[in-house]
Amino acid sequence: MGNNWAIILAAGSSRRMGTQKLLLPFGKSTIIETVIENVLNSSIEHVMVVLGANQEKIQDTLGHLPIQFCHNTEHEKGMLSSVICGIRSLPEDALTALIFLGDQPGIPPVVTNSVIDAYNEELVGIVIPVHNHRRGHPLLVDMKYRKEIMHLDLEEGLRTLRHHFPEDVLEVDVDEPGILVDIDTREDYRKAKE
């Protein structure tokens, strides 16, 4: 299959947490390392991590992993600016990008694989995992939409893509609440560690 890329968004400044949450201890390592290990244990071959706030610290922590980085100088403009930074950094022959949040350590490889399998079977351009009727991550986007994504409104975000191409969206039911859980506050962090 070859060219499925993960884009892991790790550019935020964790204002609500009061410290860089991605580097908080989680499992055997940190939140961000757990996210990346889960991705590397899936059928994804390539990983692009988007850095912004605290980039040196995060990059140092991740230096031992087989991944690439891009630096989003405009990360204050929101999540879509980081998605665009990641997609702009992918090689021409990238087939898909799966968008992961750096603060979602609870997405096991099996979920990522079922999103990719659905893409390969159904040949749609956008695949979204769903748990209890709620959409989560990773969101898969075919790189035929590369140009469209580059021109999306930063305020509106990536969700406008699926509104533009509703007939090309597939939702995949997964039995994993972790696709909905991100860590923004101390309370979220405590729950996730349990």
Q: Considering the entire predicted model, what is its pTM?
A: 0.94
Res 73: pLDDT = 92
Please report, for the domain that includes residue 141, its CATH number. Answer: 3.90.550.10
Q: Convert the pLDDT of each residue in 4-35 to its tens digit.
A: 999 999 998 777 677 778 999 998 999 999 99
- The answer to whether 141 and 126 are in contact (CB under 8 A) is yes
What is the extent of the structural domain holding 81? 4-193
Q: Convert the pLDDT of each residue in 96-155 to its tens digit.
A: 999 999 999 999 999 999 999 999 999 899 999 999 999 999 999 999 999 999 999 888
Higher pLDDT, 2 or 55: 55
d(CA 174, CA 50): 26
Number of H helices, E strands in the chain: 7, 10
The number of domains in the chain is: 1
Residue 62 has pLDDT above 50, yes or no: yes
- The answer to whether 152 and 77 are in contact (CB under 8 A) is no
Residue 2 has pLDDT above 70, yes or no: no
Res 78: pLDDT = 87
- The answer to whether 47 and 41 are in contact (CB under 8 A) is no
